[in-house]
Amino acid sequence: MNPDCDTIIDIGGQDSKVITIDDLGCVTDFLMNDKCAAGTGRFLEMTMKRVESEIGRIDTFVKDSKPAKINSMCAVFAESEIVGLLAQDIAPGDIVLGCVESICQRTASFAQKLAPANPKVFFSGGLAQFDVIKRSLASHLGVKEVATDPLCQYTGAIGAAVLGIRKIK
């Protein structure tokens, strides 16, 4: 979907992946974090429900917010921390933006184990459709922007279909 990239970051509902590819588009390395939900779309979706909103509104929900510090690396502890922040009357937008920053910082650290310096990143998965997450991820990776596609949430399915067609031919 983007032939210029050398690194693919996919943040899905249940896991996050970093994939490096060569000039021919062949996978050279792969890391997956499926051990903790705190770095996934599901965690952010649950956070949005906790603040009585929905994931599709995240870009407007966090507009003009300042990220609250989310210290927990575990989804269970982070959820408790979020409840505590709400009890302290921290603005819901600040809490959600803090969760976005936490996810993107964790994903960038994960990506830097594999990705080259100044990677050309393609960002896929459901979270790639949100501007606030694209900007935060790019910032944490130290790049100007991350490429994505309007069909970002279907990238895996599209790739599987292309491979299936190639195998038939």
pLDDT digits (tens, 9 = 90+) for 74-107: 778 888 899 999 999 999 999 999 999 999 998 9
User: Is there a domain that residue 168 lies in?
Assistant: no
Task: Give the Cβ contact number of residue 78 at 10 Å.
Answer: 23
Q: Would you place residue 121 in the very low, low, confident or very high pLDDT band (cuts 50, 70, 90)?
A: very high
Question: How many domains are there within the chain?
Answer: 1
Arithmetic mean of pLDDT over the chain: 90
Strand duo 121-124 + 7-11: pairing:
parallel
User: Is there a domain that residue 1 lies in?
Assistant: no
Residue numbers of the domain that contains 148: 7-163
Pair 72, 45: CB distance under 8 Å: no
The domain that contains 49 carries what CATH number? 3.30.420.40
How far is it, in rounded angstroms, from Cα 122 to Cα 128? Answer: 9
Strands (E), the chain: 7-11, 16-21, 27-33, 121-124
- DSSP-based three-state secondary structure for 35: coil
Pair 93, 61: CB distance under 8 Å: yes
- DSSP-based three-state secondary structure for 6: coil
User: Is there a domain that residue 169 lies in?
Assistant: no
User: Is there a domain that residue 2 lies in?
Assistant: no
DSSP string, 103-124: HHHHHHHHHTTTSPSS--EEEE
User: Is there a domain that residue 34 lies in?
Assistant: yes
Element (H, E) at 95: helix 92-111
User: Is there a domain that residue 60 lies in?
Assistant: yes
Q: What is the pTM of this model?
A: 0.90
pLDDT digits (tens, 9 = 90+) for 48-80: 999 999 999 999 999 999 999 988 777 788 888
